[in-house]
Amino acid sequence: MILTLNNPIIYFSLLTAFCFLFAYLSWKDLRWGSCLIPAFIWSYIIRFQIGFLPMTLLEAMILITFIVWLFKNIHNYKYKIQNTSYKIPIILVLIAATISIFVSPDLRQALGAWKAYFIEPILFFIIFINTIKTKKDLEKVFYALGFLTITVAIFAIYQKITGNLIPVAIWQAKEHRRVNTFFNSPNAIGLLIGPIIVIYFGWALEQIKKFVLHNSYFIIRNELLLLSYKIIIIVLGLLAIVFAVSRSSWFAVAAGIVFILFFGWSKKWTTLTVALGIALLIAIPTYRNYLVPIITFNVTSGDVRLVLWRGSWQMLENNPLFGAGLAGFPYVYNRYRLPQHLELLLYPHNIIMNFWSEIGILGLIAVIWLIINFFRSGYKIIKNQQSKTSNQLLIITLMAVMIEIVIHGMVDVPYFKNDLAVFFWLIFGMMVVLIRGAGIEKNIKTEYNQ
């Protein structure tokens, strides 16, 4: 979906007013920028052009925040970029993405992808880890993601009830209606909202666990309201992905929640509950008949992916070093597309093949390195006895979010989209903030070299 207005003067005036207000708020407190970007992460659908350069409102917000941050730090002689264990793989990702511009058969599209999927999201990551300093700051970002979820969920509920504003006829029929809200595809809802559900589940569990451990059964009103808010966000998020019929996100969210319960609550009870749940699903014919074809890819979407992966693998076998280049997959894959695959998709719909195709084998290795470092740093915090702080469960939660993204990414595209690329780097930024707040940076490789 691309949002524009018929009257260009009004459209430009509204955009200008919003950007000035956003710049003012960011100047007053950079944390405003770091929170408003996630809250309005869907704003990439609002597009405009500055001279020959196409832009989105999301990109404008990131660039405004970066300019404000850079100017403030230079002016105060405090310019620095925190050093993390992600530094080298980030550099390799940027090198691989830059090389892929010149591999791509479409230079213009490749430059746009390079800017929107790598340069600007990494700029946001730099801003984030230099702006969001404490757990309290991070919780403001959680509230921003809650606002995002409310926005998407209300739109999804409206579409589900009325059938209005659903662009594809096959999604409109009441008996198998699929909502898409701001996005081009219903699956895009699950890709964005699924990880937020996992974040809020872990955040809510942290609060519940605190009450139980301290025998705080008499919950004060503010605490009860906060817990209620978290539960509402979880419910709204679940409604959005259910109404979108994003089945891969259902499995991914379930995996993330199980991870949180297993490592953050009780291994024994989580194992027993999961085993009982699986047994019931197998025992009840209705659920078994619904789930087995999905798991075995014996449905239309599964068959499409199997055919897509076979063709993609042939393409990558013949282009193992550089893949197809940024935004080059539809052009290159078309030569390898199997006859039974009628639909030409933008990506292979598998997280490994996606990165390999877009930024080559070097980029794929760098991304895997990033994700491994993400889990290693979180694991060290969890295992270190000095870090038994309230940050621990949130670190487990972020690890669960990455698991959710990777699992969903096995059958979809969790990165190569404006909002998802920014969200991906936001999760890395959150982990950096929590590691810094654990108070044991000297004992781990992800220490900040200040």
Q: For residue range 314-336, what is the model confidence (pLDDT) as tens digits? A: 999 999 999 999 999 999 988 88
Same domain, 55 and 111: no
Q: Residue 421 and residue 181: Cα distance in Å, rounded?
A: 19
Residue 449 lies in a domain: no
Last residue within a domain, chosen from 19, 45, 79: 79
- Co-location of 40 and 180 in the same domain: no
Cβ–Cβ < 8 Å for 253, 198: yes
Residue 209, token pair as written in the block: 């666990």
Q: What are phi and psi of 49, to 5 degrees?
A: -135, 135
Contact between residue 181 and residue 152 where contact means Cβ atoms under 8 Å apart: yes
Q: What is the mean pLDDT of the chain?
A: 87
Smallest CA-to-CA distance from 147 within 256, 232, 224, 23 is with 232
Flag whether 247 is in a domain: yes
The per-residue pLDDT for range 183-201, each reduced to its tens digit, is 989 999 999 999 999 999 9
Distance, in Å, from the CA atom of 437 to the CA atom of 407, rounded to the nearest integer, reads 28
Q: Do 62 and 105 share a domain, yes or no?
A: no
My answer on whether 51 and 177 are in the same domain is no
pTM of the model: 0.91
The rounded distance, in Å, linking the Cα atoms of 349 and 333 is 13
- Same domain (yes/no): 47, 125: no
User: How many domains is the chain built from?
Assistant: 2
Residues β-bridged to residue 46:
3
Task: Assess whether 71 and 103 both reside in one domain.
Answer: no
Structural domain span for residue 320: 86-443
Asked if residue 153 belongs to a domain, the reply is yes
Instruction: Please say which residue of 54, 79, 104 terminates a domain.
Output: 79
CA distances from 344 to 79, 113, 307 (A): 46, 19, 11
Kindly state whether residues 208 and 290 are assigned to the same domain.
Answer: yes
Reading the chain (450 residues) residue by residue, the pLDDT tens digits are 565 556 677 888 888 999 999 999 999 999 999 999 999 999 999 988 887 788 899 999 999 999 999 888 776 555 455 556 788 999 999 999 999 999 999 999 999 999 999 999 999 999 999 999 888 999 999 999 999 999 999 999 999 999 999 988 888 888 889 999 999 899 999 999 999 999 999 999 988 887 766 555 556 667 788 899 999 999 999 999 999 998 899 999 999 999 999 998 889 999 999 999 889 888 888 878 888 888 877 777 778 888 899 999 999 999 999 999 999 999 998 888 877 666 678 899 999 999 999 999 999 999 999 999 999 988 888 777 444 555 889 999 999 999 999 999 999 999 999 999 999 999 999 999 988 876 544 444 443 343
Question: Looking at 79, 110, 126, which one is the last position of a domain?
Answer: 79
Residue 448 in any domain: the answer is no
